Amino acid sequence: MNGTGKVYLVGAGPGDPKLITLKGLESLQQADVVVYDRLANPALLEHAPAAAERIYCGKLPDNHTLQQERINELLAEKALEGNVVVRLKGGDPCVFGRVGEEAEHLAERGIPFEIVPGVTAGIAAPAYAGIPVTHREHGSSFAVVTGHLREDKPELATEKWRALATGIDTVAFYMGVANLPLIRTQLIKHGRDPQTPVAIISWGTLPQQVTLTGTLADIEERLAGHREITNPAIILVGNVVQLRDKINWFETARAETNEHLIG
Ligand code: SAH
């Protein structure tokens, strides 16, 4: 193979393997090397040629930075060898996906790359739970927030909490389950109505999707009784959550199928 290859930074979608874009799929079909994450559905690897090299790089929380540097270098190295490299990331690569760091690393080295957006969990998991993140009557603004909160900038945090509590209708917290007590306390403290509906959607868009609903006031207590709600999960706060009562299509269809199978 001659010259430098190319890197595709691809969003794999939130879980359901059909929620990848056509562009993402086509890049996988051409791949010589696929570098994939813990949250990219491994079923997608079937689209890569049998001979493609498959490299798993699930992130270990303890040596995050080191791990990321190694991934950056790996992508560059494989592309410089002339390969078509697909970096497959869960959801959208630009939403808490560190694509910025990878793209910067490649750009600095003059390695060609493309970013292929994906369907992000903060929108897709609610959609599969019967909750549109905006609605003409129940929500006209939407924010995507990391629940992996940094305690080192308290002032900034206060301003942000105030904005999230009073300025945004629907808030999706990623990586937030462990911090649920902090999230609900801060939102209430900064002015959000404790009766605001909340949904926690775990393993969204996958057959094992589970959704727990409640209010800011009682969601923590409710979660305690539901061990099946684990990471990955989205915490969605806002009045749009009430729409689930009417449009919970995915879990309803699944329950009907199961009944049919049992019956
Ligand atoms: N780039 C991804 C997010 C990566 S951060 C995206 O755009 O979706 C990882 C977090 O995403 C998880 O902690 C969880 O909050 C969320 N997440 C990813 N997949 C999910 C799924 N299938 N269901 C619910 N949450 C999910």
Query: Considering the chain, what is the average pLDDT of its residues?
Result: 93
- Within 10 angstroms of residue 43's Cβ, the number of other Cβ atoms is 12
Sketch the domain layout of the chain as residue ranges.
6-119, 122-251
The domain 6-119 is classified under which CATH number: 3.40.1010.10, 3.30.390.10, 3.40.50.2300, 3.40.1350.10? 3.40.1010.10
Shortest-distance Cα residue to atom 24 of ligand 1? 233
**Chain length of the chain:** 263
Going from the Cα of 229 to the center of ligand 1, the distance in angstroms, rounded, reads 14
Of the listed ranges 6-10, 60-64, 204-208, 230-234, the one predicted with least confidence: 60-64
* Cβ(96) – ligand 1 distance below 6 Å: yes
CB of 20 closer than 6 angstroms to any ligand 1 atom = no
The SS3 call for residue 87 is strand
Residue whose CA is at the smallest distance from ligand 1 atom 13? 175
Cβ atoms of 92 and 119 within 8 Å: the answer is: yes
Active-site annotation holds for 37: yes
124 CA to centre of ligand 1 in angstroms? 10
| Beta carbons of 152 and 44 less than 8 angstroms apart | no
Cβ pair 173, 218 in contact under 8 A: no
What would the pLDDT profile of 152-178 be if each residue is shown by its tens digit?
Answer: 666 668 889 999 999 999 999 999 999
Q: Which two tokens stand for residue 154?
A: 């308290």
Fold adopted by 122-251: 3.30.950
For ligand 1, say whether the CB of 235 is within 6 Å of any of its atoms: no
pLDDT at 158: 86
pLDDT at residue 156, rounded to an integer = 67
Closest-lying ligand 1 atom to the alpha carbon of residue 206? 22
**Interval between CA 233 and ligand 1 midpoint (Å):** 6
* Cα(82) to centroid(ligand 1), Å: 32
Place of tokens 């049998």: 50
Instruction: Collapse the DSSP code of 64 into the 3-class scheme (helix H, G, I; strand E, B; otherwise coil) and give the result.
Output: helix
d(CA 216, CA 57): 36
Give the pLDDT confidence of 36-50 residue by residue, as tens digits: 988 999 999 999 999
Catalytic residue among 6, 16, 32, 37: 37
Structure confidence at residue 62 (pLDDT): 53
Q: Over 90: is that where the pLDDT of 57 sits? A: no
Tell me: the pLDDT tens digits for 129-156?
999 999 999 999 999 999 987 666 666 6
Q: Is cis: bond before 42, omega within 30 of 0?
A: no
CB–CB of 190/163 below 8 Å?
no
H helix or E strand, kind and range, residue 79? helix 64-80
Predicted model pTM: 0.94
Handedness of CA 243, 249, 254, 255 (dihedral sign): positive
Q: Count the neighbouring beta carbons within 10 Å of the beta carbon of residue 51.
A: 7
**Ligand 1 contacts CB of residue 5 (under 6 A):** no
- pLDDT band with cut points at 50, 70 and 90 for residue 258: confident
